Structure formats: C-alpha cells, structure tokens
Structure 1
Amino acid sequence: MTTSHGGDQGSQGSSRYGPSPVGGLGEALRTRPQQYQPAPPTPEPSPAPEYGEHPPPPEPGYQPEQPPEPAYQPDQPPPPTGYGSEPEPGENGGYAPETPEPEEPETPEGGYGPEDPQYGGGGETPEPPEQPPTGHPCPPSMTCDTRGIDDLQCEASGVKAESDALAAVAEALAKRRTDFETARSAYTQSRDAASQAVKDLNRRVDDLLDDTRCLLNKDDVACIDEAFGQVLDCLEDCDDEAGCCIDEGCGFEGETWSVGQIEDLRAQVVKVEKCFDEVLVKEPANLTDRVTKVTGLVDKLAEDLKADPREDANRLYARAKHARWVLDAIWGRFADVNEFQNCLCCGLTCSLRGRQWLALLEGKKAYQECQEKSRLRRCTWLRENVVDETLATQILLCPPRDPCAAESSD
C-alpha cells in the first residue's frame, strides 16, 4: 500500500519564508538621506613603490588591523609542532592558557529574551512548532517521498501573498513617487516667492509694534509682554509642528519584525505615509497660505490702528505681538529647502521599505498557514486510516517470505 499524504512533519523547507524575523540591525539602517550635500572628493590612488623602497605611511583615520607577516629568518629553526613540542607556560602555572567561558545573554525580567521567537510580542498566527524527526517518513508506509511537494505548494502560496500585498499598494506607491518630484519643485518656487513678501512683512510688523507700544505706559507694556510670554510657554507643550514628522530610521528600521507583529509594523508604516501625504506633499501650498494669512493680520491691524487706537490700545499691542510670533514661524518645520527635501526623501524611502517588509511578512504568514494546513490534513488522514496504515507498514518492515523457498530449504 502506498500513500502520498504529505511529507515529514519536521520539514520547513524554504529559506525565503524561514523563521528568522524581518528587519533589525542586520538590515541596512536608513538614516536621514544626505544626497543633497556635495560628495567628498575621491582621493587619487598613490603610485606603487619602486623595488627597495618602503611604502608610504597610511593616512590617518580608521585602518583595519592586519596580522603582521613573519619575517624570514633562515638561521632560526621553525617552532616545534606535533608530538613532543612543549608550549610556553601560562599565567596560572600551566601550559595552556585558560579559555574564558562564553557569557550567555541575559534574559530580561518579566519577558522573553532577544533570542526567543516570541520576543517583542505575539499575534494571532503563531509560528508552527517544529516536530522532532521520527526516523521514518509520515505516513510510514509511503514509498514515494513527497516531502517537497507540500513545501513547494506553500512556497507558491507565500510568493502569491507577497505579490498580492505589493499589488494592493502599487498605485499608492506610484502616486507618492510622482508627488515627491512635484513637491520638490513646488516648495522651491513657493519659498522663493514668499521671500520678498516676508521681508516686507517683517518691516511692517516692526513698525506696528513700535506704534502700538507708544499707546501704552511702561507698566502696561511690561505686563502684556509677561502675559504673552506665559501663553507661549504653554504653547511649547503643543509643539508638534516642528521639524521632520518622520522619526529617525523611519521609526521601525531599528527593530525586527515577525509574523505576529504585522499589524504593529503596518501602524508604523501608515504613520510615515500620513506624514508624507498630509504634511510634506502639502507643504508648498501651506507655505503660501501662511504668507497670505499673516499678510491679512498685518493689513487688518494697520487699518484698525488708523481709527481711534486709544480705546483699545492693549488689544492692538497684543495683536502686534501675535503678528510677530506668526511671522517668525512662517517657514514652518523647515529652516531651508534642503531640510524639506531630505524629509520628503525620507518619507518616500521609508514608505517603500515598510511596504516591502510588510509584503514579505504576508508571504511568511501564508507559508506558515499552508504548512499548518498540510500538517492537519496529514494528521486527519492518519487518524482515519490507522489500521490500514499499520498493515501497510508491516509489509515494508517484515516482507512475507516465499513458501516455495521454505520447502526447498527443508
């Protein structure tokens, strides 16, 4: 009796969808891109020294350690090796240096160690447990080894899941690539157009501060200055609109991710893409809007100052200070064009890398689920065919003897 209901229970097969996690320090950790900085000049290679000359000393900086080459000494015999050779005595009186015991990694209290596959949290889909080898195929009567068939099918399932995950976001990724090029040029144009307007606004706001300050006595000016400063102190807790909105290393490249952490990684990638789509791509238009807004504040304040300013001098001075504060933050998150372009590039590359990792984890998940289904199917078949499989295996272990051969031997 022959069967073909799966391979060995312990087979895992594929290296692509093996148990190792994705990402972490083993990957190339992406930091803020510096492609907008000039590259350092490449030093010209020095000519080879002539025969008999010594090579020039190495340049300062990091140099990899090279083991010294033994000098040729014809008058000295080679060191004794093999039987009868005596090593130099060690520090502890013996003839062999002590080998320190390797230190085992510490396990943090209350959790798993870094080598544990469940380290960092689990998920709905656990890693399939590895079964110890039985020493025979399963089912044991199987004469055709089909251990690779299930693994090949599961590999195909993983590749399809990975491809489907990338296809689902292909349109969004292509749009971000286009938005990246558009936002780069648009921000430069918006910043150039705003430069002259900001210079004029700075002059006008300085004049308005002087004009409104003259309407108050020194005590009122000092009190309003102190009150305005306290309001700004409270606003420091709300400073979520400064700098690049993408964390160093994308917020996820310094960690490793397993199948059970797909949703955690997805949340990190979505956060990066939200910054790119809703903040960085819209920054050129937002810069123009900020210039328009502060221009309106200044125009309205100048118009109200022409009326009877004495009736509302405190409010006019506070409005002038507010206009100065808004104008000081006119450039938003970025001090110059390079800061914006670096953050924009970081957002695009982090989105691409995150989606790539998510697709790979989806492939791993599909592969593991396929392996588990194959195992359950094999176990179900064995439970339903215990007797037949036992008799079939008996034939393999103890083949029946030819009765004619027994009579001839008698």
Structure 2
Amino acid sequence: MSSTAHHPPTGTGGCDPGAIDELACVAAGIQRRAEVTQEHLPQLREFQEKFNSARTQYTTARLAAKTDLDEAAATLGKVREQIRCRVTHEQRHCLQQAVDKVFDDIRRCQGGWGCCVDDCGCEFDDTVGRDDTVATLSARIARYTADTLKAAACFTALDGELTALPERAAKIRTEAAQLLADVCDAVLGKDVVRLYARLLVLLRRITEAWRGFETVSEFVDCLCRALLCVLKGWQAIAVL
C-alpha cells in the first residue's frame, strides 16, 4: 500500500498570507472610525437638540430684546434733546468720529458680526488618493480638525446668543435710563461732552445689539450651517 506525502502550503494555489495583514489594517481602520464617531457623537446629539429648539428660543429672545432696545432708544431720544444744543457742532462731529473709530476697530479685531461659519472652511474630502501618504493624510486630518473645532465654537457662540441677546439689551436699557438721570443731575449734568459721548456709545450699541443678524431666519440658517459643518468634519475625519 502506498502512502501520499503531505506537504505544508507554500503560498501558491490562491493562498495569500499577506491578506491577513491587509485585513488587520482594514479592521484597525474600522475600529478607528468607530472610536472617532463615539467620541464626538454626544456633542453632535447635543447640538442637534439645541438646533431643534433654536428658532423658538431665539424668536423669544429677539422679542424681549426689541422691547428693551426700543425703550432705550426712546430714552436716548430724550437725552439728545436735552444736551444737543449744549454741545457744539465741532464737538459732536469729533465725538462721532472717535466713537465710530473705536467700534470699527473692535469689530475688526473680533472678526466682524454676522455668521461665523466660513463656507470655504467646511469642505471636507475623505477620499484617499494613490499619492497620499501618512504625512499628507495626517496634515489633512489636522486641518479638518481645526476647521471642525472652529465650526463647533461658532455653534456654541450662537447658542449663547439665546441668553446673551436679551441680557445685552436689558443692560443697554438700564444704562440709557442712568444716562438720562445723570443729564438731569445738577453736578453730573454739567459735563455735556462726556454725556454726549455716552449717548453716542449707547446708540451704537443698540445698532450692533443684533450682532449682524437682521432676522430670525438669518440666525437659524447660520446655526444650521455650523451644525452641518461640524457633522461633515467629524465624518470625514472618521473615514480618514
């Protein structure tokens, strides 16, 4: 009776041990995606919940703010009538220029009002090309992470406006009432140049109280863009 010799596999005949390494790499990639997703999912859910109620809450905030700002404007109208003729044309012109310059400089330093989402900073490419290396992918992930965090900070700042806006308006109303009281004061009312400067500052603060959002829809649209930017960013980073 003859026996057949058994030989160990030689790697031919369709057996490719290298595929195990490739499979391990794929598994590691899937695990990494899951880790990134789990890390940022709570933030995304929190942002989504806040966005769902943002329109109603911001509408309420704007109505409250408008009431206070209208009252402040009426008070400042009385202030202007009482001191306008006590300040020369040259003084009024000089003070207006000074106030405008200070506010404009501050606005430039802050980056301006309006939507804080940069559309160009929300373009995320999660494809990996033949020429991509660990270095190029790492650089892209770092850039995408920075853009995503910036969008998240934008969303958080916008969400803060729901309470900051009415508080800001109430403070302006209070300061306008105090200015009127100071104008009527026998001692404080003598420093008309300083009083007029305070008047101009408060008028400018009323103008900028809305932070560049003329309507509720503009605010909600910006909030939506920030949320989508955060979502797209973490999705791309998870894939890469």
| TM-score tier (shorter) | 0.7 to 0.9
Counterpart residue identity of residue 71, structure 2? D
**Residue from 204, 216, 229 that aligns with 1:350:** 229
| 1:318 is aligned to 2:197 | yes
Higher relative contact order by CA 8 Å / sep ≥ 6: 1 or 2? 2
C-alpha contact (below 8 Å) 2:80/2:199 kept by paired residues: yes
Q: Tell me the C-alpha RMSD between the 2 structures.
A: 2.2
Cα distance in 1, alignment partners of residues 104 and 235 from structure 2: 42
| 1:154 is aligned to 2:44 | no
C-alpha contact (below 8 Å) 2:44/2:231 kept by paired residues: yes
**1:9 alignment partner in structure 2:** none
| 1:333 is aligned to 2:212 | yes
Counterpart residue identity of residue 164, structure 1? E
Q: How does 1:287-326 map to 2 (within 5 A)?
A: 287-308=165-186, 310-326=189-205
**1:83 alignment partner in structure 2:** none
Instruction: Quote how far apart the aligned CAs of 1:183 are.
Output: 2.5
Cα distance in 2, alignment partners of residues 229 and 266 from structure 1: 37
> How many residues in Structure 1 have an aligned counterpart in Structure 2?
222
Counterpart residue identity of residue 142, structure 1? G
Higher alpha-carbon Rg: 1
1:266-312 deviation line (CA, Å, top 9, x unaligned) = 111111111112x1111111111111110121011011111125521
**2:11 alignment partner in structure 1:** 142
Structure 2 segments unaligned to the other structure (5+ residues) = 1-6, 128-135
**Residue from 62, 65, 68 that aligns with 1:197:** 68
**Residue from 116, 123, 141 that aligns with 1:245:** 116
Cα distance in 2, alignment partners of residues 222 and 147 from structure 1: 80
Higher helix residue share:
2
Normalization by structure 2: what TM-score?
0.83
Change (3 A) 1:306 1:255: same
Counterpart residue identity of residue 70, structure 2? K
**1:75 alignment partner in structure 2:** none
Counterpart residue identity of residue 148, structure 2? V
Counterpart residue identity of residue 123, structure 2? E
Change (3 A) 1:157 1:327: same
1:54-96 deviation line (CA, Å, top 9, x unaligned) = xxxxxxxxxxxxxxxxxxxxxxxxxxxxxxxxxxxxxxxxxxx
Cα distance in 1, alignment partners of residues 125 and 24 from structure 2: 30
Q: Secondary structure at the match of 1:228?
A: helix
Q: Secondary structure at the match of 1:208?
A: helix
Cα distance in 2, alignment partners of residues 255 and 160 from structure 1: 20
Structure 1 segments unaligned to the other structure (5+ residues) = 4-140, 362-410
Change (3 A) 1:297 1:246: same
C-alpha contact (below 8 Å) 2:51/2:224 kept by paired residues: yes
**1:180 alignment partner in structure 2:** 51
Structure 1 stretch 337-346 or stretch 198-207: which is displaced more? Answer: 198-207
Q: How does 1:5-404 map to 2 (within 5 A)?
A: 141-143=10-12, 144-249=15-120, 251-253=121-123, 259-261=137-139, 262-277=141-156, 279-308=157-186, 310-361=189-240
Instruction: Quote how far apart the aligned CAs of 1:215 are.
Output: 2.0
